[in-house]
Structure 1
Amino acid sequence: MSLTSTSRSPRAPRAPPGDPPNTSAVVKLNVGGEFFTTTVSTLRKIPGSRLAAMFCTLAKASTDEDEEGRFFIDRPGTYFGPILDYLRSGQMPKQHIPEVYREAQFFEITPLVKLLEDTPQIFGEQVARKQFLLRVPSYSENLELMVRLARAEAVAARYSNVLVCAVRTEEDAAHCAESLRVLEANKRLVVKFGPWKAAPVIRDLLDSVQMDIEAQGYQVAYDYCSKKTFQPKTGAHEYFYTFRFTWW
């Protein structure tokens, strides 16, 4: 990450470009359009971080200054404030935890990253949910397939439906085999999830699918598939669900 600024007004003489900046020097920042004032020592609080590296020498931190002497960092300013508060006083952020976590990773503020990983929001997502989804075969690919199928059916329609089969165990998969053959023979496309070796149940998997599709900006809900979709004796309709995408 390079720093840029645009000052052309006369300024006090500077140390040679390769010299470390005075750690007590006041620094004005423009981070994504939001302004901050701090000191070099605060920015260099975590040795080895990317943020410290930005201000390790004046050669890196003093190019293209504007009239206010601000250095530009092309990152979201909303989430830089909590990082600055942590560097100043060790204060943990209380809002926008996932976003601040992402920025702490970018700036390589390792102590803050580790603290945030212990919060319920990050622990639950990174350690619990994502570790579960890594054990679901082809999870990401199936999400992409669902979106493609839904978009293909969206022409001149308010809704589009995607049929999903979710099986937790090999035994569940065996129960669904005949139904899948029937649907394939009738040219019905089905997105199949599982089986997987982890504690979460089918409802947990379906909730995750809904969460991750909604995170892409889609409006979607799911419910049990209608029994009419199956032949009377297949007996596996409880493993099939319809995901409905709403377009307008």
Structure 2
Amino acid sequence: MSLPDIKPLRKLAVEPLQQCPVVQLNVGGQLYTTTLSTLRKYPNSKLAEMFSVPHKLLKDSEGRCFIDRDGTHFKAVLEYLRSDNVPTNNLLELHKEAVYYGIKPLVKLLEESPQLFGEKVGRQQFLSHVRNYHENLEVLIKVGKAEAMASRFSTIIMCVLKTEDDLARCNDAMIGLDTRKESIVSFGPWNAQVSVEDLLDCIRMDMEAKGYKVSIKPHNAEKGFLFKSYDFFYKLTFTWW
């Protein structure tokens, strides 16, 4: 009895990226499937360049093309490339991804949206007039952390000055305010038609965007039977746990 001919199994060849229209992606652990034509829709983009020089692409253990970046919002990038639809949620995060991948038409559309237009043209333009705004935010965080030892809360007094005249009046008010045991961080003055309440909203928004839980209230001082409210002073409270 003769044995049947057994042919050795041939190892399946991996089809080169250039010849394979379907691409498996691993973007920071998020898995996606799309086509080369979608990824190369805008030839001058960084994303198209990534998939035009395949030997430079990293591969994960399963052979998927790997992009070492948070892939949470890459789904929205693909949706735009496939259909030209711009999502309505998480536009700030999507804008960062569009800038990173160099998809200029998407960047332009996002920057013209009401949400980003208000952020970039309105809020950021205003904050550029507030002296040392971003530096003072970092001071708030640094002082808040320093005062958080073995405590659930840490409190900082903010002095908010809209005009140069407020600066002189604030100095007079501080004489009657016992702040020897409390830290004070000053904001202002600024040259813009924006209220103190708007600035306080900006501080709260930027703190929350950094992941901090804060509250801001007018600062009141009690001395014996006297109770006085100071127009310039606000109490910012960090809640740590």
Whether these two folds match at TM > 0.5 is: yes
Instruction: Mark the CA change 1:77 to 1:157 in structure 2 (over 3 Å): closer, same or farther.
Output: closer
Distance in 2 (CA, whole Å) between partners of 1:60 and 1:191 is: 49
Contact 2:59 2:66 in 1 (8 A): no
**After the TM superposition, which parts of structure 1 deviate over 4 Å for at least 4 consecutive aligned residues?**
12-15, 63-67, 181-188
Task: Tell me: CA distance 1:60–1:225, structure 2 relative to 1, closer, same or farther (3 Å).
Answer: same
The residue aligned with 1:54 is: 50
TM-score for the superposition, normalised by structure 2: 0.83
Q: Is the 1:183–1:189 contact (alpha carbons within 8 Å) kept by the matching residues of 2?
A: no
Instruction: Specify every segment of 5 or more residues in structure 2 that has no aligned partner in the other structure, as ranges.
Output: 1-10
What is the percentage of aligned positions where both structures have the same residue?
45
Structure 2 residue 101 is the aligned partner of structure 1 residue 107 = yes
SS in 1 for 2:85: coil
Residue type matched to 2:212 in 1? Y
Q: What is the CA-CA distance between 1:159 and the residue it aligns to?
A: 2.4
Deviation at 1:70, TM superposition (A): 1.7
CA contact (8 A) 2:221 2:229 kept: no
Compute the displacement of 1:50 (Å). Answer: 0.7
Relative to the length of structure 1, the TM-score reads 0.81
Q: Which amino acid aligns with 1:11?
A: A
Q: Distance in 1 between matches of 2:174 and 2:139?
A: 17
SS in 2 for 1:78: coil
Is 2:174 the partner of 1:180? yes
Tell me by how many angstroms 1:217 deviates.
2.4
Tell me which of the two structures has the higher relative contact order, counting C-alpha pairs closer than 8 angstroms and 6 or more residues apart: 1
In the other structure, the counterpart of 2:13 is 11
Which residue of 19, 25, 32 corresponds with 2:21? 25
The reply on whether 1:143 has 2:137 as its aligned counterpart is yes
- Alignment-derived partner of residue 38 in structure 1: 34
Q: Which runs of 5+ in 1 are unaligned?
A: 1-8, 16-20
Cα distance, 1:133 vs structure 2? 1.1
Note if contact 1:85-1:91 (Cα within 8 Å) is conserved in structure 2: yes
Could you report, residue by residue, the CA deviation over 1:191-246 in whole angstroms, capped at 9, with x for unpaired residues?
Answer: 111100112111111111122222222221111111437xx9xx981111111222
The Cα of 1:174 is off from its aligned counterpart by 2.0
* Structure 2 residue corresponding to 1:240, chosen from 233, 236, 239: 233
Task: Point out the structure with max Rg over C-alpha.
Answer: 2
Judging by fraction of residues, say which structure has more strand: 2
- What is the CA deviation profile of residues 94-139 of structure 1, one whole-angstrom value per residue up to 9, with x for unaligned ones? 3222221111111011100110112222222222112211211111
How many Å apart are 1:75 and its aligned residue? Answer: 2.0
